[in-house]
A and B are shown apart, each in its own frame.
Chain A
Amino acid sequence: MILIDNDAWDKECLILYRIRKHRQNGIKVDPITLPKIFLLAAHPSTNEHDELKSVGIIDDILMKPLCLSSLVHSYRESVGTENKQVNRKKVSKLGSLLMHKQILVVDDNAVNRRVAKGFLQKYGAKVTSVESGMAALKMLKLPHNFDACFMDLQMPEMDGFEATRKIRRLEREVNEKIACGQASADMFGNICYWHIPILAMTADATQSSDEECRNCGMDDFVTKPFEEEQLYTAMARFF
């Protein structure tokens, strides 16, 4: 939420110009995701105010002195309380979490890999998929650019638990080196603490216990095939 005094608005300063430009460009974007902008005025709405509001540059005008109930009322109105907004909000929510994120999908099944990739790409993520624990280790050699990893549990040769244990060991070694000064963070992409979110992909919730997943270093699990809401809840912790 942004609150701007009417007097400040009228003075052409760089920040206000940028906000207006951003809003004008953002008109075509889902308004749910934009911050709400309220103008604080000492006098009731003028024609100019109405124009700004109808074009969508500001969400509403509030009277000074500001009182809590009118702020709450205007904010609720701008966010929209109709039911039909709900699904759009959910899609934007997951999209705003995953947009431009680099995600690694590890699954030995080609069909599952393709479907997971298609799903995540729909929300704007950049997806790399590999078919084994060994391949995942290669991808996650430090430093890397991945923001999260989805790990299948049952894979031949090296299963998801073992792969995760190995990844956490690699991270621990680097983190310790950096902490004690043996290595400097700029050797590792300027990150001094490495911990990639790893989410297990399970065919069903009973397949393996939560405890087992956490013991080997996983952060959470999701069922496959992916489901928007569940994915959002899981990913919201990290992004």
Chain B
Amino acid sequence: MDVGQMQRQWIDYTKSLFLEGFLDGQFLQLQQLQDENNPDFVVEVVSLFFEDSERLLKDLTFALNQNGVDFKKVDAHVHQLKGSSSSIGAQRVKNACIAFRNFCEEQNTDACLRCLQQVKQEYCLVKNKLETLFGLEQQIVAAGGSIPTELSFSG
């Protein structure tokens, strides 16, 4: 595959992530913040998100499996996860967190456990997608090309 083909593949893959709702406009913002002064900004922020999320999901699993569930604590964790997913544009994770918080308010353990499953699923999906995207970027750079900066949605 030549650089041009790789770049087109990157563009198509990125577009699909938006069309399928995995990412929203905030991710575009992150890409725009990347420049010569911050050349690895997106990867840096997304890596922070992965670390943060994995810790939170672990804490949530622990908290929901206690005998007396502390819903305030559970809600606090979900709030964090909602915030960080929103900051990077991980739309489906964010939406799953919003639903989760509603059940925390109702103090419904079973529903919360289901929500946790949902959030874990969405997290795994977006993690996979982003890792694939970064892999494509590495290939482009290794072949001497540069990551496209324009994504037109007209075509």
Question: Measuring CB to CB, which residues of chain A are less than 8 angstroms from any residue of chain B?
Answer: 108-112, 114-115, 118-119, 121-122, 154, 156, 203, 224-225
Q: B interface, how many residues as a size bin?
A: 20 to 34
Interface CB pairs A-B, < 8 A, 5:
A114-B45, A115-B45, A122-B33, A224-B87, A225-B29
A residues less than 8 Å from B88 (CB atoms): 111, 115
Question: CA separation between A176 and B87, bound complex, in Å?
Answer: 40
Whether, in the assembled complex, B14 has its beta carbon less than 8 Å from a beta carbon of chain A, the answer is no
Question: CA separation between A225 and B33, bound complex, in Å?
Answer: 13
B residues less than 8 Å from A108 (CB atoms): 80
Asked whether B82 lies within 8 Å of A203 as measured between CB atoms, the reply is yes
Asked whether B41 lies within 8 Å of A111 as measured between CB atoms, the reply is no
Q: List 6 additional A-B contacts (Cβ < 8 Å) besides A109-B52, A111-B52.
A: A111-B48, A112-B83, A114-B44, A114-B45, A115-B88, A118-B38
A residues less than 8 Å from B86 (CB atoms): 203, 224-225
A residues less than 8 Å from B38 (CB atoms): 118, 121
Question: CA separation between A110 and B41, bound complex, in Å?
Answer: 14
Whether, in the assembled complex, B69 has its beta carbon less than 8 Å from a beta carbon of chain A, the answer is no
Question: CA separation between A122 and B41, bound complex, in Å?
Answer: 12
Q: Select one of A112, A118, A203 contacting B41, CB under 8 A.
A: A118
| B51, B82, B83: most-surrounded residue (chain A CB, <10 A) | B83
Whether, in the assembled complex, B7 has its beta carbon less than 8 Å from a beta carbon of chain A, the answer is no
B residues less than 8 Å from A112 (CB atoms): 83-84, 87
* Cβ-closest 8 pairs across A and B: A111-B84, A118-B33, A115-B87, A111-B48, A111-B49, A112-B87, A111-B87, A225-B87
B residues less than 8 Å from A156 (CB atoms): 76
Chain A residue nearest to B29 in the complex (CB): A225
Whether, in the assembled complex, B26 has its beta carbon less than 8 Å from a beta carbon of chain A, the answer is yes
Asked whether A114 lies within 8 Å of B48 as measured between CB atoms, the reply is yes
Asked whether B82 lies within 8 Å of A110 as measured between CB atoms, the reply is no
Question: CA separation between A69 and B44, bound complex, in Å?
Answer: 54
Asked whether A203 lies within 8 Å of B48 as measured between CB atoms, the reply is no
Asked whether B52 lies within 8 Å of A115 as measured between CB atoms, the reply is no
Consensus secondary structure, chain A interface: helix
B residues less than 8 Å from A154 (CB atoms): 76, 79
Asked whether B29 lies within 8 Å of A110 as measured between CB atoms, the reply is no
Q: Closest Cβ of chain A: how far from B150's Cβ, in Å? A: 15
Asked whether A109 lies within 8 Å of B44 as measured between CB atoms, the reply is no
Q: Closest Cβ of chain B: how far from A90's Cβ, in Å? A: 14
Question: CA separation between A114 and B49, bound complex, in Å?
Answer: 10
Residues facing A in B7-61 (CB within 8 A) are: 26, 29-30, 32-33, 35, 37-38, 41, 44-45, 48-49, 51-52
Question: CA separation between A68 and B25, bound complex, in Å?
Answer: 45
| Interface mask (B72-86 → A, CB under 8 Å = 1, otherwise 0) | 000010011011101
Chain A residue nearest to B46 in the complex (CB): A111
Asked whether A110 lies within 8 Å of B52 as measured between CB atoms, the reply is yes
Question: CA separation between A122 and B52, bound complex, in Å?
Answer: 24
Asked whether A119 lies within 8 Å of B83 as measured between CB atoms, the reply is no
Question: CA separation between A156 and B80, bound complex, in Å?
Answer: 11
A residues less than 8 Å from B30 (CB atoms): 115, 118
Q: Closest Cβ of chain B: how far from A38's Cβ, in Å? A: 36
Q: Closest Cβ of chain A: how far from B62's Cβ, in Å? A: 17
A residues less than 8 Å from B45 (CB atoms): 111, 114-115, 118
B residues less than 8 Å from A111 (CB atoms): 45, 48-49, 52, 83-84, 87-88
Q: Closest Cβ of chain B: how far from A100's Cβ, in Å? A: 15
A residues less than 8 Å from B80 (CB atoms): 108-109
Q: Closest Cβ of chain A: how far from B132's Cβ, in Å? A: 21
Q: Closest Cβ of chain B: how far from A51's Cβ, in Å? A: 36
Asked whether B33 lies within 8 Å of A203 as measured between CB atoms, the reply is no
